[in-house]
Structure 1
């Protein structure tokens, strides 16, 4: 059935998928077609059940199809799910965000992380009157042309090198690339482009090169450098927001940003983006100011309801559960990985984590992540899949768990213990 579906899909969808990672090409197998998700499980078109460690690419944090969320969504659809004008639901969700993120005084909802990061950069440029943006090697901030880069084109200019065909080098002429966890690299960039940098933009915990925690003091030093340079510090917390703490990386590490981008968990599995921050910056957005942003589906009531219900269920006990579940799941995965290769490094922040196969120890940046053994990861992925554990089909994607995974910890541990040593 899956091969038939794949054949059909390839006739009408590019590569048979709507996002490249779903093609499973990096793990050298055919993609899985899913039909259902419930609690900690997903089910494929052949009826097979898997423990899900993709979790909607981090957007599901309570578990799939949680009854309170399903009921609220059905009720909203009955009462209209595309109102076209503003509703009280937008105000309620914004109030929840503001209570969770002290740095977010005003905000604007959007439809994706890509969109809200684009808007954040536009705001930073308008506020500072500067044009350049400093990002980090291996970072991912959506697929807008001026941010689609993984590394600098050369060490002298430090300007971004396009990471996709169709992205012209001149689109990245105002994008500077530094090395994550290397404050001296940041300072070199700021010296080279003194007075020209509008924003330092980063995932405070990168999740798109695998999970790479910031070293002690790095985020604090970035805050100091941004203040010294009179530029904005922008945290892309699309993945980390509401995931690693209620107030994201800013709560977990005690460093506040000028602008914050949110998504994933905030929408409870539905498409959402949110950019927010200091009121003096945010008031530059239309209709208050000259910076344009608009969207047909921005503040969509169905998304607002699902987001609200998700956040209302995310109390302190939920995060305690997530920490406990994550610790035990990671221990089980580490044992499975060690059956494949002894050169294993597992890195976790809250309920997001990555298993790297590398001889170089802890992964601190993109260069370290790139040195991973992809063949070992492919073996790990295949072995896990064979025993009913579904992980993201890429070494460079984060794994996630939900509150509902507390139901399957013991089962997962037994599964791993039963796996024979690979030859």
Structure 2
């Protein structure tokens, strides 16, 4: 036992791997967010279903799930079999393969609203392709981003929730990010239709796209306010702008048809990420045929790995599993049940923690009674979850993300539910209550090794 009374685990091999990593990998881990993990980055060897095993031999209920995309859990047998079969046939041809067309048709059919799509490899690339299409379609340059959304690490869109001035002009969020890259980016508050309308009026005739994560996945994972997405649709139509839903996080976690399937509002373009291939590197842009087809009329869309046969084999297998009857109702029920039980535990322990479910995601926000949007989310106690809760939950065998999200997969069952709730109950009796009603803090520009920032932390 450690001095707090918690069960302890020996992570010496992970600690040693981290120290060795610092001699060869910048920051000691493959991304800056992982490098800032407490007590130090953990190193894992394998996963199966809802569980993951570290180099010290400890098994965890995995609510990180590759930062979201492992909607079928680790090493799902259907996806694994498809990938193995393709490995035997080759993974890269430098040309087209039948699977890229078959997978595209299947994906469009699953979405049900999009006419055409493009393959790419990461969410960051998908967003950049969507913006290029929007600018080509409109002949304009300005992009209005809704605050709280993370749209990749690219210089042109990297701006935290409060990284903008009164005029909506974005400010940089990273050291080394040139101010010139943000010349055409404006930021409006998520959920504020009048403010967004005023910004569009100020920029009248210059706006190419309205870019929004429909559920503000990195700053709350919230139900959009009533009429909000429909209001953005109307504003885009009024101003001749392209409406882009960034569904790299929300995507298949909301429904097989993403946010449109859940909320009924149709964008012009939408971006999707690794979840469509169960974690294999693949991404897509889908939407209106006349906009996507601009790649045949001057818009450059490149990428050696685009639509590669390994990725598209994984997409087809993933859609097979997710398309089965009852999959999404079961995911929704599991998320609601976990949220209800975690909320009850917090109440019994006397802690103020808002816990909610949205699709196959549960979000716990400490120190706030109710989260309706990013402003509420950013009032949360900034260290309670990452500094107080996560290290102790790790000691109880529960692997969690910073920022309060617990991702669920089709493979999480009653045992994983009960272990997570039991660990939460045990830990809450031993840690301080979260600080309540904190004013929203400005996001910190990263200098050197960054601390966690929920508004820009999608990538792992």
TM above 0.5, yes or no, is: yes
Structure-1 separation of matches of 2:340 and 2:74: 23
Give the Å deviation of 1:155: 4.2
1:323 lines up with 2:323 in the alignment: no
The match for 2:290 is 280
The match for 2:27 is 15
The match for 1:185 is 195
Say whether the 8 Å CA contact 2:393–2:423 is kept in structure 1.
no
Say whether the 8 Å CA contact 1:113–1:262 is kept in structure 2.
yes
Give the Å deviation of 1:295: 0.5
Which segment is superposed worse, 295-304 or 341-350? 341-350
Say whether the 8 Å CA contact 1:336–1:419 is kept in structure 2.
no
Structure-1 separation of matches of 2:193 and 2:230: 10
1:78 lines up with 2:80 in the alignment: no
Give the Å deviation of 1:334: 3.0
Cα separation, partners in 2 of 1:156 and 1:89, compared to 1, 3 Å: same
Say whether the 8 Å CA contact 2:216–2:374 is kept in structure 1.
no
Structure-2 separation of matches of 1:194 and 1:78: 54
The match for 1:196 is 206
Give the Å deviation of 1:279: 0.8
Q: Secondary structure at the match of 1:326?
A: helix
Give the Å deviation of 1:23: 2.1
1:133 lines up with 2:143 in the alignment: yes
State which of 238, 244, 247 in structure 2 corresponds to 1:234.
244
The match for 2:134 is 124
State which of 44, 54, 73 in structure 2 corresponds to 1:44.
54
State which of 204, 216, 225 in structure 2 corresponds to 1:215.
225
Give the Å deviation of 1:421: 1.7
Structure-1 separation of matches of 2:214 and 2:232: 10
The match for 2:103 is 93
The match for 2:113 is 103
Q: Secondary structure at the match of 1:11?
A: coil
Structure-2 separation of matches of 1:155 and 1:162: 11
Gaps of at least 5 residues in structure 2 are 1-12, 432-460
1:390 lines up with 2:402 in the alignment: no
Say whether the 8 Å CA contact 1:76–1:301 is kept in structure 2.
yes
RMSD: 1.8
Q: What pairs up with 1:23-422 in 2 under 5 angstroms?
A: 23-25=35-37, 28-151=38-161, 155-285=165-295, 288-314=296-322, 315-338=324-347, 342-359=351-368, 361-377=369-385, 378-392=387-401, 394-395=402-403, 398-408=405-415, 409-416=417-424, 421-422=429-430
Cα separation, partners in 2 of 1:33 and 1:231, compared to 1, 3 Å: same
Structure-1 separation of matches of 2:266 and 2:247: 12
Say whether the 8 Å CA contact 1:136–1:150 is kept in structure 2.
no
Q: Secondary structure at the match of 2:160?
A: strand
Structure-1 separation of matches of 2:57 and 2:153: 34
Say whether the 8 Å CA contact 1:152–1:159 is kept in structure 2.
no
Gaps of at least 5 residues in structure 1 are none
Structure 1 residues 90-132: Cα deviation after superposition (integer angstroms, max 9, x where no partner): 1111111111223321111001011011010011011001110
Give the Å deviation of 1:330: 2.1
Q: Secondary structure at the match of 2:52?
A: strand
The match for 2:6 is none
Give the Å deviation of 1:139: 1.4
Cα separation, partners in 2 of 1:321 and 1:273, compared to 1, 3 Å: same
Structure 1 residues 117-155: Cα deviation after superposition (integer angstroms, max 9, x where no partner): 101001101100111000022211111111011246554
Count of residues in Structure 1 that have an aligned counterpart in Structure 2: 416
Give the Å deviation of 1:374: 1.9
Structure-2 separation of matches of 1:271 and 1:246: 19
Say whether the 8 Å CA contact 1:103–1:258 is kept in structure 2.
no
Give the Å deviation of 1:301: 0.7
Structure-1 separation of matches of 2:31 and 2:163: 26
